[in-house]
Structure formats: structure tokens, C-alpha cells
Structure 1
Amino acid sequence: MKADRTTVPSPSGGSYTLWQLVAYMLRLGTLGFGGPVALAGYMHRDLVESRNWFTEADYKEGLALAQLAPGPLAAQLAIYLGFVHYRIAGATLVGIAFVLPSFLMVLALGWAYVRFGGLTWMQSVFYGVGAAVIGIIAISAYKLTRKSVGGDPLLWTIYAVLVAVTIITESEIAWLFIAAGVLVWFWRAPPKWFKQGGMPIAAAWQIAPGSGILTNFDLPLLTQIGLFFAKAGAFVFGSGLAIVPFLYGGVVTEHQWLNEKQFVDAVAVAMITPGPVVITVGFIGYLVAGLPGAIVASLATFLPCYLFTVIPAPYFKKYGKLPAIVAFVDGVTAAAVGAITGAVVVLAKRSIIDAPTLVLAIVTVLLLWRFKKLPEPAIVAGAAAVGLLVYPLLRS
């Protein structure tokens, strides 16, 4: 695969090379804290608003596709942006650059976990970081809402419904994204057959809701791991922690690869490391089968999301400017941002558990609001230090 080194002038006015985009995604994967909501917000801020490498339409198409397809939202959005101007080479290199840093980090933590018998300091760090992360994703959700929903009453209605549904069910319901897109499509640019009062059976089907390192090379076990995590990547909709209940059912209950404590530690590792939260699969794979298990689990989880992004991407670009498609994407985007905002509340209920964590979350919001260029890793590091100091005092 030969990567293009040429500079691409984007319709939004900026220009960049593939390697500049890969370098950006490598940096985001290394320093980007806050989960999928925050990561999607960083991409919009940096690549659309600041550098003008992508248009608002490019971003909205990528966000809509990432919400419609199963798999981790932030990784799919990054892969789609890589595809926009550099096609398969761009999507592949960007996807690898985005995921690799966090994979290496959880691999190192997995080794330390096995070597030293647990992560006793993890609760203290997560106590502080979890609260700060809520503040980070709250600001990101606010910016996405203001940019994507605008002043359209229909989009605001869809947004509010998805916020409520996400908070009540504590999950993202995939068919609601499709229904929102169809609703806005029919409202703004209804097809001729709809105006005539008829609806082909084929169209009805299309909108129906669907919803030790290398010493233990155990091929049957690795095959089992690959099949399970491929299913997780291919059939779990939503972003970030949406995959956790599915993983719990298979890893702890069905296969009994890990116990409850190990699984909770695996989720905590994903939350305190940068990059996509779904990279917890690498930590789980390492605990189950060492380095081969980590590699197989990660590849099996991310390969479906790569394919579900690259295969439909050309059609999004080719037909994305049609009024019906624009309306559909607007509806899906409003639903997606509503679900993301609802997820902030859901996560807050788990991370803000007392007065100090509430203060940490509020201080994070105020700092990011006041200082627009304040780096999130600095906030995360400060929150971790507060957690290490305060948590033992509260539990003593």
C-alpha cells in the first residue's frame, strides 16, 4: 500500500498531507482523554474549526455514519475523515495511528497488572479522573449541540427525545437514529411516492428498525477470543461504554475468563488512558491470553468498524449533497448529539458520587470554558493527583 504524500486542498480552505493527518491522529490517540464524546469534539475543533482541513458537511457525514454503523464512534469518525481525501490508504493509516498509542498503553498496564498482582492505586486515580472526564465531555457535548442542532425546531425535538431516551434506558437505541433521519428526510424533501400517498414495500423494509507474552499460544482459545470480540465489534451499537455490558456478559458470565474485580479494573484502565474507551478489549485480551490475546481481541473488535466505515463511505461522498441525504444526515446527527448529551448524564451518575467529585467536574467545566486552549491532558493529570490525595483520606 503506497500512501500519497501530496498535499490536498480541502473545499473548506485548508490544505494538508496524509502524513500530517496521521500525525494528528497519532497525537490525539496519545493525548486525547474523555472518551468518544470528547474525542469527536476535539476532531471538530481541530480539523474543522481551527485547521479547515474538512468541511462541516464532511464532519457531519462522518458522525452520522459512525452512529449508524456498529462499533466505537470515535474510531469510525477518524477512519472516515482519513477516507475523505485519501481513500483506503488514508482510512487505514489513520485508523492504525488513532488506536495504536492506547493499545500500547493498555498492553503495558496489562503487563504491570499481571506482574505486580493488581492495580491498587487505580481506584484513587479513577476517582479523580472520572469526575474530570465528565466535565470534559460535558463541554464537548455542548459545543456539538450548538454547532449541529442550530435553530431548527424539528432537530431540537429529536435531540430532546434522544437525550431523554438515553438517560432513561442508559443505552443508545440504533433504530432511533435511522428513524430520526427518515423523519427529517420526509419533512424537508419527501420523495415523490410519499407525496402520492404510496410507499413501496422495498422502502418500508429499508427503514424498518434493525438494530506471559508469547508463551501461551493457545490456538483454540485465541479463536474463541477472536470470534467473541468480532461479534462485539460487529453487533454492538453505541459509543464508548455501550460495549461494556456486552463484554461483561461474555467475558465474566459466559466464558468466565475474568472475575468481577478484574473486569472492573479493565474498564477503569480504559477510562484513565487516552484514545478510544473500547481499547479495554486489549487489556482483557492480555489478561486472558497474553500478548497474542491482546492483539487478537483488538483486531477482532476494530476490523468490523473499519469495514463498516470504508465500504459505505464512497456512497456517502457521492450522494451526500442530495437534499434527501442532507436531510437524513441532519436528522441522524441531531439524534446522535442528543444521545451523546444523554450519555454525559448517564456517566455522571457513576463518576460523581460525592462533594469532591462534583467540585472536580464543575471546576473542569469552568476551566475549559474560561481557557479555550487549556490542554485536556493537564486537567486529567491534575485530577489524577487530586484523586490520589483525596480518595485515601475519604476512605480512611
Structure 2
Amino acid sequence: MTETGAGPSFPALLKAFVRVGMLSFGGPAGQIALMHRELVEERRWVSEEDYLHALNFCHLLPGPEAQQLATWIGWRLHGWRGGLAAGLLFVIPGALVILALSILYALAADLGWFAALFLGVKAAVLAIVAQALLRIGGRALDTRFKQALALAAFVALFFLDLPFPLIVLGAGVLGIAVAAVLPQWLALKPAGGEPPSAPRPWRATLGAALLWGAIWAAPMVIVFLVLGRDHVLWDIGAFFSQLAVVTFGGAYAVLAYMAQEAVQGFGWLQAGEMADGLGLAETTPGPLIMVTQFVGFLAAFRAPEPFSPLVAGLIGAGLTTWVTFAPCFLWIFAFAPWIDRLRHAVRLKGGLAALTAAVVGVIANLTAWFTLHVLFGQVGEDTAGPLRIYLPEWSSFDWRAALLAMLACLLVFGARWSVPKVLALAAAGGLVLGLFL
């Protein structure tokens, strides 16, 4: 319902989310701001209070918060079909664009001009990720306890090589415990009003979980029956299904985990290629997590049997997108009926606050990891007791990437250019330096 009491028609909802899907550039922050302007300020389909509460609810869920917020708005206005339409329209434009760019990347990656172009893209990505780190850290780390959590998460990932799920879930559990006894450590505010008196919506939640769980699993059943568990498509589907469950904390937390697993764990692509994919995702509409499709395409493209490389890549991209976004609909349709009750879940809010603080450390790890692999052609590893130490080969230092990265930082932090403009100029600089120097 809107603030005036009259909801939009279903065609009006479709039209609005076609517009949102086509214009949703700039990552989660820009997409959330766009939906606020279009749906709260201009159309007044959702109240300010409900919008902000739903946004907090989506932060509790694993996966891309902006796409889940779009799905919730559609569900709120037109039930299941509204949520499905809004969520799909938010994803489809970006999915089609990133698929086309992934095909171009796979076919042209060995060309000199293409490698030079992405020299600049990788350098710009460093500035973009650093900007996200400072922006999220400035908002999330408002107590000493949260700052300590962020530092501990960074050390645990970068130096101790502990599993990502252990870090974020451990932070959430710690936050729940701290919220019960020392809520001021997490800057929690007491909930106002009385909790809802209506019966708990267990039936709706169970029905949605069963239906969307079956939808989520369907392509994996087909892969298992046709190709078996030794095929790369099974690895792709299993990994990104796991990613959809454990990646709390927004898109950049997802990227941190995925980048290192895809490069170091599975060997599907190189670190520089991972930075290229993030650069492509930054230039397209839709969720930033759509970079998963780029990874899935390349992984299948490079191990295509029994298909041709292009067909395998298309299947890999489709499977990745399916298992990444089907869970988003499951979370919303299963848990949205509980949203009003979550206003009073102080311990749950504590878990979210601690998890968000830990995500700052996760993004710091991503920033350091990308920096090493973009600026140096060769990066080794060594161990000293429990510590994992990265050892860049200094003779492989790429001064061109460093120069372009500094230029991108000046444009992002000094001139405050938009992401597409920074990427375009850095790519042009990469062409010049890569081809002529």
C-alpha cells in the first residue's frame, strides 16, 4: 500500500521496474537511492518508514540487498507475482549485458588492444573498491568494539587464511551475545512500540521455502543426472549455491569470498581477470553480484566438454545466475511476512551490526588482495607458523597499472567522478600505455 492508501496497478509496477532495471548503475548504494527516489519520493508507493525497515531486513539476508529490496517492494504491492516481476526486472537487463561482455571477453582476451584496455579497468577497480571500503567503514564502524571486529576479520582472512563463512557467521553469533548484555558496544537503539499480535506466519514461510527450494535445486538435479559430480558445471552450481547461503553483508562481501575461491581454490581464472570482471559489472545496470555470471561463464568456457566452449559458457552463465538469484526470492517470500516482528528483534539487530563491522574487514582483505595482484605480475605465498604471507615479485611490478591506479584514486576521491566515467578514462589510459609504452 502507498501512503495515500491506493496501490499501483500491475502494469504500472512493471513499467516502474523496467525503468529501475535499466537505470540501476553504481552498485548497491546507487541502486537503493534510485529505488528510493522512484518509488518512495516520486510515486509514493512505499512509505519512508517501511522502505528503511525493509532495507534493514534485507541486510539481514545473504545475497544482494538491492535486488532483495526490489523483490520485497513488488511483494508488498502485488504479492508473489509482484515480487517475482520486480526481482526479475531488476536482474535481467544487467544479466544480458554482462553475458554479452563475457562472450566478448572470452573471444578477445588474447588480443593486444583488449589486454591494454583492461589494464586500465583493473587499475580503476582498485580505486572503486577502496572507495567502497572507506564509505562502508565510515558508516559501520561507529564504536571501538566494531572497529576491533573489522580488524580481527581482516587479520583472520589476510594473514591466517581462515574460512570466510566462519568469519561472518562467527561475527554474527558474537553480535547476538553482545547485544544481550552490552548493546551500547554495538550502538543499538531500543525498539519502540508493541510487537504484532497476529499469528506467526509459519505456513506461508514453509510453503515458500519448499517451492523455492525445489526451484533452486532443479538445475543441479539435471546436471547431476546428465553430467555427474565430476563436471565443472556441478562445481559451478555447488559453489555459487553455497555462496548464496553464507555471503552476508552485501555485494562486496560476496566478491571478497568469490574472488579468492574462484582464483586460488578452483583456478577458474586469474586474479587480474577477476578484477576485469568486477570492472565489467561496475559498468552495467543491475546487482554488482552479477560478476558471478562472468566467473561462471569463463569457468565453463575453459572446460567445455562435452559441449563447445560457447555453449558450455552459456550454460555456465545461466546456471550461475539461477543458483545465485533463486535463493533471493526464497529469502524474501519466506521471511517477508515476519518483517514487522523483526523491528523488535534486538539481538538479531546486534548480530547484523557485528556482521556488518566484520564485512569492513572482509572488504579490506579484498582491497589488499586486488592491489597485490594488479600491481604485480607474480605474487607468491609463504607461511610462518599460522601466518600466511604474500610475497610479491618486485621485478614484476607494473608501473603502468600503478600510474593508472593513482589517477583513478584522484578522480574518485578528489574530483568525485562517477564510476562509469572513471572506468572509461582509465580504460583509455590503459590503451595508450599498453599499446605505445
* TM-score, L = length of structure 1: 0.68
| Aligned mates of 2:109, 2:415 — CA distance in 1 | 40
SS at match of 1:321: helix
Match of 1:146 among 120, 138, 147: 138
Q: How many Å separate the matches in 1 of 2:121 and 2:4?
A: 39
Q: Distance in 2 between matches of 1:316 and 1:365?
A: 43
- Report the secondary structure of 2:138's partner residue: helix
Residue of 180, 196, 205 corresponding to 1:189:
180
Alpha-carbon distance, 1:349 to partner? 1.4
Structure 2 regions of 5+ residues with no counterpart?
Answer: 6-11, 42-47, 183-222, 248-253, 282-287, 377-397
Equivalent residue runs for 1:48-63 within 5 Å: 57-63=53-59
CA contact (8 A) 1:130 1:351 kept: yes
Shift of 1:8: 6.8
Match of 1:199 in 2: none
In the alignment, structure 1 segments of 5+ residues that lack a partner are: 1-5, 11-15, 33-38, 67-72, 192-217, 253-259
Deviation at 1:49, TM superposition (A): 9.4
In structure 1, which of residues 338, 342, 348 is the aligned counterpart of residue 371 of structure 2?
A: 348
Q: CA RMSD in A?
A: 3.9
Q: Which residue of 1 aligns with 2:280?
A: 273
> How far, CA to CA, are the matches of 1:167 and 1:119 in structure 2?
34
- Corresponding residue pairs, total: 332
Is the 2:99–2:317 contact (alpha carbons within 8 Å) kept by the matching residues of 1?
Answer: no
Contact 1:8 1:17 (C-alpha < 8 Å) held by counterparts: no
Please report the TM-score for the alignment, with normalisation by the length of structure 2. Answer: 0.63
The 1:190/1:367 distance shift into structure 2, 3 A limit, reads same
Q: CA deviation at 1:367?
A: 2.2
* Cα offsets for 1:59-114 (capped at 9, x unmatched): 34423422xxxxxx4xx212321233322445534443444344333443455467
Task: Quote the Cα distance in structure 2 between the aligned partners of 1:44 and 1:122.
Answer: 33
1:378 aligns with 2:421: yes
**Alignment match, 2:67:** 79
Equivalent residue runs for 1:172-187 within 5 Å: 173-187=164-178
Structure 2 vs 1, CA of residues 17 and 286 (structure 1 numbering), >3 Å: closer, same or farther?
same
Distance 1:9 1:17 in 2: 16
Percent of aligned pairs with the same amino acid: 17
Match of 2:430 among 379, 387, 395: 387
Q: Deviations over 1:273-327 (max 9, x none)?
A: 1243212113444563434524543344324543563355427624422221221
What secondary structure sits across from 2:343 in the alignment? coil
Aligned residue number for residue 120 of structure 2: 128
Change over 3 Å in CA distance of 1:233–1:368 after alignment to 2: same
Which stretch shows the higher mean deviation, 157-166 or 126-135?
157-166
Corresponding residue for 1:197?
A: none
1:65-76 equivalences in 2 (<5 Å): 65-66=61-62, 73=63, 76=64
- CA distance in 1 between counterparts of 2:36 and 2:355 reads 19
- CA–CA distance in structure 2, aligned partners of residues 137 and 265 of structure 1: 14
Greater shift in the superposed pair: 124-133 or 355-364: 355-364
Verify the 8 A CA contact 2:256 2:366 in the aligned structure 1.
no
Q: Which moved more, 1:42-51 or 1:100-109?
A: 42-51
Amino acid at match of 2:149: I
Quote how far apart the aligned CAs of 1:389 are.
1.0
Could you tell me which residue of structure 1 aligns to residue 23 of structure 2? 27
Contact 1:225 1:296 in 2 (8 A): no
Counterpart check, 1:293 vs 2:315: yes
Match of 1:210 in 2: none
Whether the 8 Å contact between 2:124 and 2:423 is mirrored in structure 1 is yes
Q: Which letter does structure 1 place at the counterpart of 2:156?
A: V
Of residues 271, 279, 282, the one that matches 2:297 is 282
Of stretches 382-391 and 222-231 in structure 1, the one that deviates more from structure 2 is: 222-231
**Contact 1:41–1:141 (CA under 8 A) maintained in structure 2:** no
Distance 1:248 1:180, change over 3 A: closer
